[in-house]
């Protein structure tokens, strides 16, 4: 398996622009997670999906952030409008539903810089 | 609420010496505990987990961790460290009935030749 795939790997944009991050989970994984990593706040869970349905979005920082999962093999995280404080590395992760095999497998991340 | 504490920002050891990275947790109910490693400019890689059963868990790359319920700890260990083990290590916890993981702040391990 190719693992979790994220694109783009790097994104540089200007304040006010819309940013869309993409994720393809591992085939057969029913759970998908979006995280943000910064030096100040560490790793934060933003939102997670089960069978394409958002389960917990309490970590989404503001209404400027939105996430969708239109099918089992694709998810997007959108920031509109973007701000410099959104600069971070955004990770997508996926996992099996099996409660005894609950490791999350992470993608390589998207490094976002908002100027 | 659930949380993880990694009391050491950095751990430095010589190659061949034992390596320990400390982790304590707080969670209601039975914990599910994980260790991940992150190399520069890479995503997190799963090392090992404790769900139930034997308190000593063996994982990838020769790492192991010991679950101690009374001390609410889950320390990561490796008997003989390699220079290639130098990386950032994260401990994480979740409740048994919730898929939301909480991560510690991370511990940077440096293994010198």
Mean of per-residue pLDDT scores for chain B: 94
State the Cα–Cα distance between residues A20 and B10, nearest whole angstrom.
35
What confidence score (pLDDT) does residue B6 get? 97
- What is the per-residue DSSP string for A28-52? T--EEEEEEEETTTEEEEEEEEETT
Q: Smallest Cα–Cα separation from A12: which of A115, A81, A83, A89?
A: A115
Distance from CA of B16 to the nearest CA of A (A): 29
DSSP 8-class letter at A26? P
Could you tell me the pLDDT band of residue B95, with boundaries at 50, 70 and 90?
A: confident
Quick check: B43 and A108 CB within 8 A? yes
The 3-state secondary structure of B45-98 reads EEEEEECCCCCEEECHHHCEEEEECCCCEEEEEECCCCHHHCEEEEEEEEECCC
Lowest mean pLDDT among A23-32, B36-45, B93-102: B93-102
Pick from B34, B52, B105: which is nearest to A42 by CB? B105
Q: Does residue A76 register a pLDDT over 70?
A: yes
Region class of B10: left (phi > 0), else alpha (psi between -120 and 50), else beta: beta
Average pLDDT over residues A87-112: 88
Q: Does residue B41 register a pLDDT over 90?
A: no
Mean of per-residue pLDDT scores for chain A: 93
What confidence score (pLDDT) does residue A99 get? 59
Quick check: B34 and A43 CB within 8 A? no
What confidence score (pLDDT) does residue B23 get? 98
Structure tokens at A21: 């991050």
What confidence score (pLDDT) does residue B42 get? 85
Contacts of B52 in chain A (CB under 8 A): 100
Residue with tokens 């304590």: B24
Average pLDDT over residues B74-93: 96
What confidence score (pLDDT) does residue B99 get? 82
State the Cα–Cα distance between residues B5 and A105, nearest whole angstrom.
22
Quick check: B100 and A102 CB within 8 A? no
Contacts of A33 in chain B (CB under 8 A): 99, 101
The answer to whether B36 and B43 are in contact (CB under 8 A) is: no
Contacts of A43 in chain B (CB under 8 A): 44, 90, 103, 106
């Amino acid at each position: 398996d190719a693992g979790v795939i994220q694109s783009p790997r790097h994104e540089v944009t200007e304040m006010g622009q819309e940013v869309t991050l993409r994720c393809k989970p591992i085939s057969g994984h029913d759970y998908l997670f979006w995280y943000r990593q910064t030096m100040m706040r560490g790793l934060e869970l933003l939102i997670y999906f089960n069978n394409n349905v958002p389960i917990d979005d309490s970590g989404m920082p503001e209404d400027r952030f939105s996430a969708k999962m239109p099918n089992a093999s694709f998810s997007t995280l959108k920031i509109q409008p973007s701000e410099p404080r959104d600069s971070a590395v955004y990770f997508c992760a996926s996992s099996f539903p099996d409660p005894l095999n609950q490791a999350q497998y992470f993608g390589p991340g998207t490094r976002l810089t908002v100027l | 609420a659930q949380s993880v504490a990694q009391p050491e920002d950095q751990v430095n050891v010589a190659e061949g010496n034992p390596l320990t990275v400390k982790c304590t947790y707080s969670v209601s109910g039975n914990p599910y505990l994980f260790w991940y490693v992150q190399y520069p400019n890479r995503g997190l890689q799963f090392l090992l987990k404790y769900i139930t059963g034997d308190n000593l868990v063996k994982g990838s790359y020769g790492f192991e961790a010991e679950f101690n319920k009374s001390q609410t700890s889950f320390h990561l260990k490796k008997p003989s460290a390699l220079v290639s083990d130098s990386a950032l290590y994260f401990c994480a916890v979740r409740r048994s009935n919730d898929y939301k993981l909480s991560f510690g702040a991370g511990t940077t391990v440096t293994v010198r030749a």
